[in-house]
Amino acid sequence: MLNFPVRPALARRLKLLALPFTLPLLLGLAACSPQPAAAPAAQPAPPTAATGAQPASKPTPTPVERSGDSKEVILATTTSTQDSGLLDVLVPLFEQQSGYRVKTISVGTGAALALGARGEADVVLVHAPEAEEKWMAEGNGTERLLVMHNDFLLLGPPADPAGIKGERSALVALKRIAERGAPWVSRDDNSGTDQLEKRLWQQAGLSPKGQSWYISTGQGMGATLTLADQKNAYTLSDRATYLARQRTLQAVPLVEGDAQLLNVYHVMPVNPARFPNVRINAPGGKAFADFLVAPRTQEVIGVFGKDKYGQALFFPDAGKAEDQLGQ
């Protein structure tokens, strides 16, 4: 290859002439070059028990699939009837007597009522009187029958750092817990238990949510009892679930017997007229409701738990007036 000198002015002209050709070439090569992968979108952290300013989200009932079988009855009920073992006795008895098959959806009372209000259940068995009355007023049920009651307990660690043991007033006990900043675990799931707890705090003139000592689980009674035990915390529980799990817990009943802690259960068949496009099993729902208030079933309810716990977990109330309960 021949080498010859190039004058500076000529070299500058050659560079300018080559620019229109080299620039597109460079841009094309850049476009073909491999690009760095985009960073993945941030994923939300998995849900955990919330404390302070991080309240747990409310559980939302998911759609319940219907088989279309006229012998299937969908029961939406509170977790306490399942966790206590009562349904393990009553459901087989009903199925044997009636020929129906029960599909049980065990959730908090708020979620159970929501299932019924969407036509995703045939009958509901719950324990939140004010919410039940509203549900009936909206036309979701055909009747509301009193079934049974038990009571709620204020549970806590044996050391009782808030000093509430033996207190007869639940409101006084809650005020003392708040004053001492003692840990409290709440279901915070719109269940019947949660609705009562929030009402008690309100009546005590307190708003504990957001406080560092107030822990929300957003879960059922069993999981909430377990967490309260782990945290050496206080909590509110129905007596039946506590008795069914007491062998696994250190927590003990510290406050009981207050009339405000009464826990009343009603059964309500879902109103088929409310859902003309849904195949509500109205005969099955009514059959289950009638079964719960029948004399023989009431006897079974009245003795349930005595052999295992030395006391009944529920008291049968069919046919009684509401103001007779707990007397």
The two beta strands, 145-156 and 214-216, are: unpaired
> Tokens 């109205």 identify what position?
282
Domain check: are 227 and 280 in the same one? Answer: no
The answer to whether residue 22 is domain-embedded is no
**Residue 230 located in a structural domain:** yes
Residues 291 and 237 in one domain: no
Work out the number of other CB atoms within 10 angstroms of the CB of residue 148.
30
> Which whole number is the average pLDDT over 316-326?
87
The domain boundary, picked from 228, 244, 261, lies at: 261
Rounded-to-integer distance, Cα 249 and Cα 270, Å: 37
Asked which of 38-52, 103-117, 160-174 is least confident by mean pLDDT, the reply is 38-52
If you average pLDDT over residues 233-242, what whole number do you get?
Answer: 95
281-285, 308-312, 321-325 — which is least confidently predicted? 321-325
For residue 16, is it within any domain?
Answer: no
Listed range (53-67, 231-245, 292-306) with the worst mean pLDDT? 53-67
Q: Do both 124 and 164 map to the same domain?
A: no
Domain count, the chain: 2
Q: In the listed set 261, 284, 308, which residue is the last one of a domain according to the structure?
A: 261
pLDDT of residue 68: 79
pLDDT on residue 85: 93
| CATH number where 245 lies | 3.40.190.10
Residue 163 lies inside a defined structural domain of this protein: yes
pLDDT at residue number 69: 85
- pTM of the full predicted structure? 0.75
- The one-letter amino acid at 111: A
CA distances from 190 to 112, 118, 131 (A): 10, 17, 10
Arithmetic mean of pLDDT, 252-275: 96
Q: List, for residues 146-204, the tens digit of each pLDDT value.
A: 999 999 999 999 999 999 999 999 999 999 999 999 999 999 999 999 999 999 999 99
Whether 5 maps to a domain, the answer reads no
* Contact status, residue 153 vs residue 197, Cβ threshold 8 Å: no
Picking from 174, 139, 154, the residue whose alpha carbon sits closest to that of residue 263 is 154
Q: Looking at the structure, do residues 255 and 156 belong to the same domain, yes or no?
A: yes
Residues of the domain holding 136 = 72-149+264-319
Domain's final residue, options 218, 241, 261 = 261
Yes or no: say if 156 and 256 are a contact pair by the CB < 8 Å rule: no
- Residue 11 in any domain: the answer is no
Mean pLDDT of the chain: 84
Instruction: Judge if 203 and 172 occupy the same domain.
Output: yes
